[in-house]
Amino acid sequence: MHSFLPPLKRLLYQLLLLLLLYQCSRAVLTLLNLDQFAGLSLAAYLRISLVAVRFDLSALLLLNSLYILLLLLPGRNTRWQGLLNTLFVAVNSIALLFELSDWAYFPYNHKRATADVLSLITRKGDFLNLLPGFLLAYWYIPLAAIALIFLLIRLNGAICKRTPLSGQPGLPAQLLRLIVAAVVCITGIRGGLQLVPIGLRDAAKATESRYTPIVLNTPFSILFSIQNELSEERYYGDAVLQQYISTTRQYTGKPFRNKNVVILILESFSKEFTGIGHRKSYTPFLDGLMQQSLTCTHAFANANRSADGIPAILAGIPSLQEEPFASSPYGANKISSLANLLGRKGYSSAFYHGGTNGTMSFDNFAATAGFRRYVGRKEYPDPKDYDGNWGIWDEPFLQFTAKDMGTMKEPFCASVFTLSSHQPFTVPEQYKGRFPKGNLPIQETIGYTDHALRLFFETAQKQPWYTRTLFVLVADHCFALAEDDYYHYHQGRFAIPLVYFAPGDTTLRGQTDTLTQQIDILPSVLDYLGYPDAFFAFGNSIFSPAPYRYTIQHWGSEILWTKDNYLLKVINGKAHGFYDTRTDSLSANDLLQYGDARAADSYNYLKAFRQAYTGALIRNRMWIP
């Protein structure tokens, strides 16, 4: 036992030393940027700092994994221990340099540095050219770095003296020590025993989104984004870019009406399954509601995954990445969303989803988007309504939701996401055989969710808030299979219902064939309410004129860009098709073969969009103060 414990004791003391240094850096970053952390109390800061230990340990254990392995292997001569100490100090000194650099970087980027900072350092000439000016402007950072690294060296030396490594336990004890250390380290790197390892997205769960940079540390932010960074695309200068696309929206001239807003997101509700799909409808209630609403008959999803649809609908963020926004390196970015923009006007907010908490990181995104409450399966009061697969059946969960909204302070913004129209496509026992099955496995469950919607609105009608509410009903994406050829290919596989319903507003009626998409919902809702302030948005309001109408979808290596009435298909950066959607719904007649000049013009707009999108993500600019 005498020779078993010293390496573990040394490691424990070293980790405590590093945690202390990172807490010191965290405190300085917070003090230097107090104006960015409005409303932060000392008690809240201390709580955040305690939560941050989980993220600090994850990064420190990952950074020092090689050192930990070598420390526990046989080898105890003076030279070996000297090499170990050099490795420990070198690795952690470099990490501290990155940590301290955020004292200067954060005021410009409003987030912790991610892996894109590595490309800046390795870019030929840029880093060396910028370094002298950086050192002069932020002279206190190199001084602080020298002081902390000196402290690291001195205190680590004291730790090594206090925990001398002498002797070796027997081979079984060495193996046991390695196994124990490996289990503890892997658990620490994962951030615990939960199903999914922690990432940048989890910081938003720990506190308000504006305080997530305090929770994180810079090495963690870099390490956990290193595989998934976007490359910033630059095609135009700023002045020319503005001629193609503007991301600032402001709708003036209307009084602000602080109506409640309820966004009902319907799992896999393809347009094909509804009354506007020109085939057999499985949604009799939704079809009837469309007769009392403004129905968009030419609406499209921005992606084909729920994890992409939620950010598009609630925050106007389309998906051009391989992974969803919430789990990407930019998942902790500041964003404009319905919840946080309306929150500025005194709205309360809640995100309802009957799935198991943590499913597809919806709870993380809800926190990032500024929803003040997340209500999932964990918060639902009756476990017997669990479907055995994804979560709570739609009917009881929507009933619970309609009543729970009555407890919210008005005005409120609520998002409700259904789940029963999902694999394995089952309905509650009492509803077996009640809804048409159709030729696709999902169609019976579409009928069940439509029935649950009917009961939701019957309950909501009895609530005092009902007539003071704007409802938006939209699919998160389409089902993967379709019966009609149009819904199999290109634009049609993203066709969805989009409905604006305000029971207290008889002017919001009829159908519009205006081209629209999920990311248009945010500006449309704010325009309808008469939201007076400027805000960031890629999309356009359905209620106001726009310079042009477009939709964008990312599908593997393929991007679909529809501007006005023309669809451009781009694969790996090259145009592969150009179609007139009015006369060629199946995209059979490629106009590129005729040298159609409009294709090049459309591609220019797409490039401008990609430049605006990548720049806004990388530079954390999807918001206006």
Give the DSSP per-residue string, 247-286: -EE---SS-----EEEEEEETT--GGGSGGGTS--S-HHH
What does the alpha-carbon distance between residue 420 and residue 424 come to, in Å, rounded to a whole number? 9
Alpha carbons within 13 A on the beta-carbon side of 150: 6
Q: Please write the tens of the pLDDT for every residue from 292-323.
A: 999 999 999 999 889 899 999 999 999 888 77
Residues in a beta bridge with 265: 417, 474
Integer Rg of the chain from CA: 27
3-class DSSP state of 574: strand
Mean pLDDT of 330-335: 88
Q: Please write the tens of the pLDDT for every residue from 513-545.
A: 999 999 999 999 999 999 999 999 999 999 999
**Residue 130 pLDDT grade (very low, low, confident, very high; cuts 50, 70, 90):** low
Q: Please write the tens of the pLDDT for every residue from 597-624.
A: 899 999 999 999 999 999 999 989 999 9
Please state whether 254 falls in left (phi above 0), alpha (psi between -120 and 50) or beta. Answer: beta
What does the alpha-carbon distance between residue 353 and residue 374 come to, in Å, rounded to a whole number? 8
Q: Which of 160-174, 392-406, 494-508, 567-581 has the lowest mean pLDDT?
A: 160-174
Q: Please write the tens of the pLDDT for every residue from 57-99.
A: 999 999 999 999 888 876 666 788 888 899 999 999 999 999 9
- The reported pLDDT for the residue numbered 318 is 95
Q: Which of 68-72, 214-218, 262-266, 577-581 has the lowest mean pLDDT?
A: 68-72
- Please, where are the H alpha helices in 291-347? 306-315, 338-343
CA distances (Å), 449 to each of 313, 354, 421, 538, 619, in order? Answer: 20, 13, 7, 31, 40
- The reported pLDDT for the residue numbered 6 is 77
What does the alpha-carbon distance between residue 495 and residue 518 come to, in Å, rounded to a whole number? 11
Question: What letter would DSSP give residue 381?
Answer: S
- The reported pLDDT for the residue numbered 107 is 75
- The reported pLDDT for the residue numbered 124 is 47
Count of Cβ atoms closer than 10 Å to residue 573 Cβ: 10
Please state whether 275 falls in left (phi above 0), alpha (psi between -120 and 50) or beta. Answer: alpha
pLDDT cut 90: percent of the chain above it: 67
Phi/psi at 553 (5° precision)? -140, 145
Strands (E), 454-590: 469-475, 495-501, 510-512, 516-517, 535-536, 550-555, 558-563, 566-571, 574-580
Core vs surface per residue 291-312: b (16+ CB within 10 A) or e:
eebbbbbbbbbbbbebbbbbbb
**Residue 572 pLDDT grade (very low, low, confident, very high; cuts 50, 70, 90):** confident
CATH numbers and ranges of domains, the chain = 6-223 (no CATH), 254-544 (3.40.720.10)
pLDDT exceeds 60 at position 280: yes
Name the more confident of 383 and 104. Answer: 383
3-class DSSP state of 357: coil
pTM of the entire predicted model: 0.78
**Residue 366 pLDDT grade (very low, low, confident, very high; cuts 50, 70, 90):** very high
What does the alpha-carbon distance between residue 382 and residue 291 come to, in Å, rounded to a whole number? 35
Count of Cβ atoms closer than 10 Å to residue 600 Cβ: 13
pLDDT exceeds 70 at position 108: no
Q: Please write the tens of the pLDDT for every residue from 456-493.
A: 999 999 999 999 999 999 999 999 889 999 998 889 99
Number of helices (H), then strands (E), belonging to the chain: the values are 20, 15
Name the more confident of 288 and 332. Answer: 288
- The reported pLDDT for the residue numbered 91 is 96
Give the tokens for residue 433.
């055989």
What does the alpha-carbon distance between residue 141 and residue 587 come to, in Å, rounded to a whole number? 58
Mean pLDDT of 100-111: 80
pLDDT exceeds 60 at position 551: yes
Q: Please write the tens of the pLDDT for every residue from 132-147.
A: 767 887 899 999 999 9
Q: Please write the tens of the pLDDT for every residue from 16-55.
A: 999 999 999 999 999 998 877 878 899 999 999 999 999 9
pLDDT exceeds 70 at position 547: yes
Mean pLDDT of 210-217: 88
pLDDT exceeds 70 at position 128: no
Asked if omega into 424 is within 30° of 0 (cis), the reply is yes
Residue with token string 């790996």: 572
Q: Find, among 216, 46, 259, the residue nearest to 620 by Cα.
A: 216
Q: Please write the tens of the pLDDT for every residue from 582-594.
A: 999 998 999 998 8
**Residue 125 pLDDT grade (very low, low, confident, very high; cuts 50, 70, 90):** very low
Question: What letter would DSSP give residue 226?
Answer: T
Residue with token string 């250390």: 181
Mean pLDDT of 397-404: 98
